[in-house]
Amino acid sequence: MRWLLSLLFTFFSLLMLANNLAVTNASVEGKMVRFDISWDNSWNLTDEGGNRDAVWLFLKGRTSSGIWEHINLASEDAVHYAGEDLAIEPVTDGKGVFVMLNAGVFGNVSPTQISISATPDLNEYNQIRIFAIEMVYIPKGPFYLGDGASISSLVNTNGEPVLVSSEEALDPLGIYIHNPNTEFTPTQLAAALPYDFPKGFDSFYVMKYEISQLQYADFLNTLTYNQQKNRTSLPPSDAKGTFAMVNPYAPDSLYRNGIAIFKSGKEGSHPAVYGVNYNANSTYNDDEDGVHRAANFLNWADLSAYLDWAALRPITEMEYEKICRGANILPVEGELAWGTSLAVNANTVMNDGTIFETVTEKPTENSGLANFGNVVAIDGWGLRGVLRTGFAATTSTSRIDAGAAYYGVMEMSGNVWEQTIMIGAGGELFTGLLGDGSIDENGNANQQGWCNPNTALGVLIKGGAWGSAISDVGSWRDLAVSDRFYSHLKPSTRRNTLGGRGGR
């Protein structure tokens, strides 16, 4: 092996301004890779009936032909080693490992050496990259689906929220669409919801934050030219400095997306190299480039490809509501991700583009802070674009102040739309199949049942975005947890408000 590149990620959390997730000091010996990992504000309260955070770690290796491939890791506990306070949780498919604090421990994780064992000899690769994504564990348990008030909210035969009490096959004939809005006909539910469809009752992991622009650029940098061509709006062969994800017919309309070409690619020769350069200076991924802003302009093909590549999977609309609402908690009519129906519009940026990017607006009593409603001319148009993931969290914020979902997942209401698998239009065929770490030659997810990347049939956008509005309860409320107004609109094209995250 010639050299090893370890990637540093800085992310943000519910209770601290920065989680400072870092992977450093990496080395390789045979099948083993050793490195230091650290992050702030970690927790594992599972012994007390709570949940935990974790880091999803996976490796990519560059072969002698220049192709990047996913590196399988050992699925046995005994061959991985962690420090005294950390635990490593391998997965049966070997696509990565979860690293977490031991049960009952919480706080900052200082740099701690861990050793991860791969299946192949790592010296076979010319280059290795370590990828790390912050996740949140969602515990097993019953929850309520729908709030009985939002547009297309799901209700039972009595017009009330539906209690999901198992992962058993569900007969949607007992579930109805509450639709107080007469402007459209909502997409109908499936005739039957199979056992394999993830309903949110069982435990699972979900990304703590929406995919960031730096994460998406890192993804692009492991693809071939042809794959890059289909996962960006503008060709990889365009000039250095070209903003790659924006509308090709309006290249100056960035909506705060800074993903740009650092080195042009050439078809049949070599792929492009991407970075984030929102301030359009000579330095990419610098302190003012907004590298941790949510990645917008992601259509379903883009999102599903990223999740397949990262060995994650899409989440379902039922899991989305569990993440936001928590277990055994009765819904509030028109509630947003933080459990109330009220929100404060975040639209005046401060520390723009930096790892401390936030807004000057402050949350008020029972009103979470969210990036939404920034398209109204009478209000000066507002921010009109995405913010840093976790922008509302500080050292002292509560769940409502930070605009966080029940288990500590950020921006489930606002910033960018979440793309979920719905219980209709073919989405019911999704079985929860995990990504295998690779995508097809055209850059598309290759997993069965993940909804067609070209049509996005079976995909439902949830949670609203920076351009969404919030009207009275029972009316237009894109950010509402149970709102399904756009069940008829499929995210097959790139929009400046589309992004997302995945689970496992």
Give the tens place of pLDDT for each residue, 242-257.
999 999 888 889 999 9
Give the whole-angstrom CA distance, residue 189 versus residue 175: 8
Per-residue pLDDT band for 40 (boundaries 50, 70, 90) equals confident
Q: Identify the pLDDT of residue 475.
A: 84
Sequence spans of domains, the chain: 3-138, 213-291
The neighbour count for residue 400, using CB atoms within 10 Å, is 22
Give the whole-angstrom CA distance, residue 335 versus residue 55: 29
Higher pLDDT, 184 or 32: 32
Overall pTM surpassing 0.85 (yes/no): yes
Q: Identify which of 418, 435, 198 has the alpha carbon closest to the alpha carbon of residue 324.
A: 418
pLDDT > 70? residue 239: yes
Which residues, listed in sequence order, are joined to residue 24 by a DSSP beta bridge?
A: 36
pLDDT > 50? residue 332: yes
50-81 per-position pLDDT tens digit: 999 999 999 999 999 999 999 999 999 999 99
Query: Average of pLDDT values for 129-149?
Result: 96
Cα 280 to Cα 83, 261, 264, 286, 324: the distances in Å are 42, 11, 16, 10, 37
Give the whole-angstrom CA distance, residue 247 versus residue 192: 39
Judge whether 453 and 383 are in contact, CB under 8 Å. no
Q: Identify the pLDDT of residue 162.
A: 94
Q: Identify the pLDDT of residue 124.
A: 95
Q: Identify the pLDDT of residue 379.
A: 61
Judge whether 460 and 255 are in contact, CB under 8 Å. no
155-169 per-position pLDDT tens digit: 998 889 999 999 998
Residue with tokens 């999901």: 164
Share of the chain above pLDDT 90, in %: 82
3-138 under CATH 1.10.3470, yes or no: no
pLDDT > 80? residue 148: yes
Give the whole-angstrom CA distance, residue 274 versus residue 221: 6
CB proximity list for 320: less than 8 A, separation 6 or greater: 412, 418, 420, 462, 463, 481
pLDDT > 50? residue 303: yes
Query: Average of pLDDT values for 224-241?
Result: 98
CB proximity list for 418: less than 8 A, separation 6 or greater: 210, 315, 320, 412, 461, 462, 463, 499, 500, 501
Angle at 345 (CA atoms; ends 405, 369), nearest 5 degrees: 30
User: What is the DSSP pairing of strand 176-178 with strand 153-155?
Assistant: antiparallel
Residue spans of alpha helices (H) in 376-491: 399-402
Query: Average of pLDDT values for 464-469?
Result: 94
Give the whole-angstrom CA distance, residue 295 versus residue 290: 10
Q: Identify the pLDDT of residue 121.
A: 96
Out of 51-60, 363-372, 387-396, 436-445, least confident range: 387-396
Per-residue pLDDT band for 5 (boundaries 50, 70, 90) equals very low
Give the whole-angstrom CA distance, residue 306 versus residue 419: 13
Q: DSSP assignment of 229-272, as one string?
A: HHHSSS-TTSPTT-BSSS-TTSTT--TT--EEEEE--BTTTB--
List the structure tokens of 213. 């622009």
Cα 46 from chain centre: 23
The neighbour count for residue 461, using CB atoms within 10 Å, is 28
Q: Identify the pLDDT of residue 378.
A: 60
pLDDT > 80? residue 469: yes
pLDDT > 50? residue 230: yes
Give the whole-angstrom CA distance, residue 22 versus residue 40: 10
Q: Which amino acid is at 236?
A: P
Q: DSSP assignment of 1-41, as one string?
A: --EEEE-------SSSS----EEEEEEEETTEEEEEEEEEE
113-127 per-position pLDDT tens digit: 999 999 999 999 999
Judge whether 370 and 360 are in contact, CB under 8 Å. no
Give the whole-angstrom CA distance, residue 156 versus residue 486: 21
Q: What is the mean pLDDT of the chain?
A: 92
pLDDT > 60? residue 1: no
